[in-house]
Chain A
Amino acid sequence: MTISLNLNGQTHEVDAEPGTPLLWVIRDELKLTGTKFGCGVAACGACTVHLDGEPVRSCQTFIEDIDGAEITTIEKMEEDKVGAAVQKAWLELDVVQCGYCQSGQIMNAVGLLRQNAKPTAEEVDDYMHGNACRCATYQRIRAGVLRASEILEA
């Protein structure tokens, strides 16, 4: 099937079988590799992208369900006010280690800050719970979200 995919502000006509996860269209067809494959079962969050502004797991988002939707990936976050703040906080605190999960962490953190500009540490933990980091950078992820909240407030 052919679908019209609006990704990072550009429209792409994509030919793929129904049931194809959005993740593989983004990575293998459109060659945007910032969105990562970690588990394939929505248990790690490495593949998180925004669907009409909301974080979703792209490994469990199927192309037949998203015709016409606006998809945003990590590659576009520099142009997003909240995204840029989160990236700035991540750099200030050197959140990353191996970095493989961090695109997903950042995409999810942006989702949180859009709906809750001043989260508590507990609210950060609740919202970010599904994003795994095997390097266990969680202390800095939590601090990074709180710092991004400060940056946005300033």
Chain B
Amino acid sequence: MADQLSRRGFLKSAAAAGAALYIGANTKGVMAASNSADAMLNHFVKITGDGRAVALCKHVEFGQGSATGLTTLIAEELGVTMEQIDYEFAPSNPEIYNNLLFGPFQGTGGSTAIANSFTQYRTAGAAAREMLISAAAKTWGVDAGTLDIVEGVITGAGKTAPMGEFVAAAAGMEVPAEPRLRDASEWKIIGNAQTRRLDSPVKVNGQAQFAMDVHLDNQMVVMVRRTPQRGGTVVAFDDSASKVVKGFIMAQALPTGHGVAVYAENTWAAMQARNALEVEWDLSAAETRSSGEIKDEILAALNTEPTYNVNKADRAAVKTTVDGAATVLEKTFYFPLLAHAPMEPLNCTIEQTAEGDIVLHDGAQMPTGPHMAYQQIFELPAEKIQIKSMLAGGSFGRRATPDADYQVEAGLAFIMTDRSRPVKLVWDREDDIRGGYYRPAAGHKVRVGLDETGAIIGWDHQVAGQSIMKGTAFESFAVHDGVDHSTVEGIADSPYTIPGQALGLTDTEKATSVLWWRSVGHTHTAYVMEVMMDLAAKTSGKDAVEYRLGYLTGEGDAARKAGVLKLAAEKAGWGSAPAGHAKGIAVHKSFGSYVATVVEVSGNTDDGIVVEKVTAAVDCGIALNPDTVTAQAEGAIGYGIGHAMRDQITLDGGAVEQSNFPDYEPLRISDIKVIETHIVPSAEAPTGIGEPGTPPSAPALANAIAALSADAEYVAELPMSANGVEFA
């Protein structure tokens, strides 16, 4: 074991570490134990002599409940209660703490935190249990098979003792290669809706530490004036007005040329000094288009032959079928740029230790990104860079840029100093809204042919938009035969059996940096699929649920999608509505999970729509922490509906027009009166829950509005408030 660790290049220590048992993984994925303090670098679980357990969380906690979830897996297998275990964030190590679905890359995204960790973390907990039991069995001279750990106590064979008593002995035991995982019938915490979040106490009393709360001795605060248009560079700047600000230290252009860093003694001074800065920009190579031109380009692309034939269909034949159909439904959709706007504005703090190590304090969603970038910036080997992961105040994708944008910015600001003072980079809300990473704009044009009975006989679906993955390190992972799957996911892999479907894709030029935004391509594909299905049902005079079920007749995927559809309809009282109210439904699969949503509205589009109630049904496999699943459904629904109601980022001459919450208005408490979530019981492996609630929420709202009256229409361009729909 020590050899395995040293082969990995980790330092060994002869220092006594007290009685502690660490369970981790080595290069080959085998579990390994050690009582060396330095083995803390590599563990998933730690048990100290006083019987406390600690789970090491490899995923960021930004509200989705990963810390509680990963800790639950350890606690369940080990045999402790949630009161007997704590959690810590793992250090950055792309080989040990990687996302098993991402390869050698540590990161959180795609609603995979639990899905990729479910077996790994249970195995770590089970290995610890078996080693402790082996140690006890040896001491007591009994068969290990007669012992178990229950609430932290080793019990069996007429004996009982706190597990802490055997920690030192267990550290010397052989690590089981394949520890027995507890059967689902033994589970006490997994699936228990009474389990509370472990991070709640510190988040209600002000003690939670986010990266924004870092105050290192002698730190400087840096804010950056960035180019107002993508591609602009600094020619010169005048900081004479900044110098008047008390606490101003200096201003320097970033070596990338995309901005000027302003250094100050504290945050308020940095804000004032940065805002007082005058910068001359070279905008000759910068983006100059406005949103109208970008939209025109995307819509024009929908009317040309697509660059990519995504599903290799015979489009000409599909078009012929649609053209000859008894009824042809045609609709063009447009989706604007959207900002993520997490509550905690982007920030991170960087320092250099006496040993020359670089330490980054960050709510790091993808630690491997800055870890790799800093090796280049500081010309240091990986082991000289430490990333201290902290709680993150939301992300929705924004903290996971392929180019580690804000961490790199902090690194550049730091390397331009003598490194004697830590540098804390802070973005304000205006920086965030204008900071240039957005859900890409997208357009869809769909022509659906129905026969005399209303059945679909052809579906010609064209998509145009800005690729998220192309030009990034993730291109080889997500782009195949030229198709960025993230632009067409939710159509190309829909569980619906749609006869005669052609799917085409055309990439358009990026006007801004674009990025995954909670549920990525599903943010627009689900909307289009579900509005078109609703329109087809209505045109055919069929019930919206029954009509969809007709295209979900298979086993597996289709059956699970049908399952949530039926459950949501049943729980929402589908088929009737109070006077003046109407209901709309939508169902979508994303990130391996299935969510159906019924939205009930009242009012009208002129005087104001009221969202009376949202009812959701969720199938995400085993619901590890059911209350977290419910909370994520609620949040994802709010995120989807809030932006569909009234948010968009627009460009004027290449510059973002919005700046802060007053013109990028968040969902507010009064916008949705009630959300009710129902979870489908399941024995399937857990899949995502952070994102899947978002995709069906907006189309369910659109479908509800379209059901309010005979002449009500399906909103085909978002946000709704800019396209003829008032909200109360």
Which chain A residues have a beta carbon within 8 Å of chain B's beta carbons? 17, 20-21, 24, 27-29, 31-41, 43-44, 46, 73-75, 77-78, 87, 90-91, 94-103, 106, 121, 124-126, 128-129, 131-142
Cβ A129 vs Cβ B668 within 8 A: yes
Within 8 A of A (CB), among B621-654: 627-628, 631-632, 634-639, 642
Task: Report B664-683 CB contacts with A as 1/0, cut-off 8 Å.
Answer: 00111111111100000000
| B496 proximal to A (CB < 8 A) | no
Contact A41 B661, CB 8 Å, known A97-B64, A102-B204, A103-B206: yes
Please indicate the chain A residues that have their CB under 8 angstroms from the CB of B393 in the complex. 36, 98-101
Q: Chain B nearest CB: distance from A138 CB in Å?
A: 4
With A41-B660, A99-B63, A132-B661 already in contact, 11 other A-B pairs whose C-beta atoms are closer than 8 Å: A36-B393, A38-B343, A41-B661, A94-B631, A98-B342, A99-B391, A100-B210, A100-B344, A126-B670, A128-B669, A134-B639
Residue in chain A with minimal CB distance to B659? A41
| B205 proximal to A (CB < 8 A) | yes
| B345 proximal to A (CB < 8 A) | yes
Instruction: Identify the 5 closest CB pairs spanning chains A and B, nearest first.
Output: A34-B206, A136-B638, A100-B393, A99-B203, A98-B63
Cβ A35 vs Cβ B206 within 8 A: yes
Cβ B206 vs Cβ A33 within 8 A: yes
Contact A75 B267, CB 8 Å, known A36-B212, A96-B200: no
**Given the complex of chains A and B, what is the CA–CA distance between A27 and B670 in angstroms?**
30
Cβ A100 vs Cβ B669 within 8 A: no
**Given the complex of chains A and B, what is the CA–CA distance between A34 and B201 in angstroms?**
13
Contact A28 B268, CB 8 Å, known A75-B206, A136-B634, A139-B634: yes
| B266 proximal to A (CB < 8 A) | yes
Cβ A134 vs Cβ B342 within 8 A: yes
Please indicate the chain B residues that have their CB under 8 angstroms from the CB of A39 in the complex. 429, 660-661
Cβ B212 vs Cβ A37 within 8 A: yes
Cβ B635 vs Cβ A135 within 8 A: yes
Which of these, A37, A73, A125, contacts B669 with CB under 8 Å?
A125
Contact A136 B344, CB 8 Å, known A34-B206, A99-B391: no
Count how many chain B residues have C-beta atoms less than 8 Å from C-beta atoms of the other chain: 62
Interface of A is mostly: loop
Cβ A24 vs Cβ B208 within 8 A: no
Residue in chain A with minimal CB distance to B62? A98
Cβ B266 vs Cβ A94 within 8 A: no
**Given the complex of chains A and B, what is the CA–CA distance between A139 and B393 in angstroms?**
19
**Given the complex of chains A and B, what is the CA–CA distance between A87 and B201 in angstroms?**
8
Cβ B200 vs Cβ A44 within 8 A: no
Cβ B661 vs Cβ A125 within 8 A: no
**Given the complex of chains A and B, what is the CA–CA distance between A104 and B661 in angstroms?**
16
Which of these, B197, B342, B396, B642, contacts A96 with CB under 8 Å?
B197
Contact A97 B209, CB 8 Å, known A138-B669, A138-B672: no
Cβ B392 vs Cβ A98 within 8 A: yes
**Given the complex of chains A and B, what is the CA–CA distance between A100 and B627 in angstroms?**
20
**Given the complex of chains A and B, what is the CA–CA distance between A40 and B674 in angstroms?**
30
Contact A134 B631, CB 8 Å, known A27-B267, A75-B205: no
| B78 proximal to A (CB < 8 A) | no
Please indicate the chain A residues that have their CB under 8 angstroms from the CB of B344 in the complex. 36, 38, 98, 100
Contact A140 B343, CB 8 Å, known A37-B267, A100-B393: no
Q: Chain A nearest CB: distance from B38 CB in Å?
A: 31
Cβ A138 vs Cβ B200 within 8 A: no
Q: Chain A nearest CB: distance from B213 CB in Å?
A: 4
Residue in chain A with minimal CB distance to B341? A134
**Given the complex of chains A and B, what is the CA–CA distance between A90 and B199 in angstroms?**
12
| B394 proximal to A (CB < 8 A) | yes
| B196 proximal to A (CB < 8 A) | yes
Q: Chain A nearest CB: distance from B266 CB in Å?
A: 4
Please indicate the chain B residues that have their CB under 8 angstroms from the CB of A97 in the complex. 63-65, 394, 631-632, 635
**Given the complex of chains A and B, what is the CA–CA distance between A103 and B331 in angstroms?**
45
Cβ A96 vs Cβ B204 within 8 A: yes
| B246 proximal to A (CB < 8 A) | yes
Please indicate the chain B residues that have their CB under 8 angstroms from the CB of A20 in the complex. 268
| B578 proximal to A (CB < 8 A) | no
Please indicate the chain A residues that have their CB under 8 angstroms from the CB of B196 in the complex. 91, 94
Task: Report B41-57 CB contacts with A as 1/0, cut-off 8 Å.
Answer: 00000000000000000
| B657 proximal to A (CB < 8 A) | no
Which of these, B200, B394, B671, contacts A134 with CB under 8 Å?
B394
| B207 proximal to A (CB < 8 A) | yes
Q: Chain A nearest CB: distance from B168 CB in Å?
A: 36
Cβ A74 vs Cβ B206 within 8 A: yes
| B215 proximal to A (CB < 8 A) | yes
A-B contact pairs, 11 of them (CB 8 A): A24-B268, A34-B208, A36-B344, A87-B204, A94-B200, A95-B200, A96-B204, A97-B635, A98-B342, A134-B396, A140-B631
Please indicate the chain B residues that have their CB under 8 angstroms from the CB of A40 in the complex. 271, 428-429, 660
**Given the complex of chains A and B, what is the CA–CA distance between A140 and B669 in angstroms?**
10
Please indicate the chain A residues that have their CB under 8 angstroms from the CB of B396 in the complex. 134
Residue in chain B with minimal CB distance to A73? B206
**Given the complex of chains A and B, what is the CA–CA distance between A75 and B382 in angstroms?**
39
| B662 proximal to A (CB < 8 A) | yes
Contact A46 B627, CB 8 Å, known A37-B212, A100-B210: no
Please indicate the chain B residues that have their CB under 8 angstroms from the CB of A17 in the complex. 246
Contact A100 B394, CB 8 Å, known A41-B429, A137-B631: yes
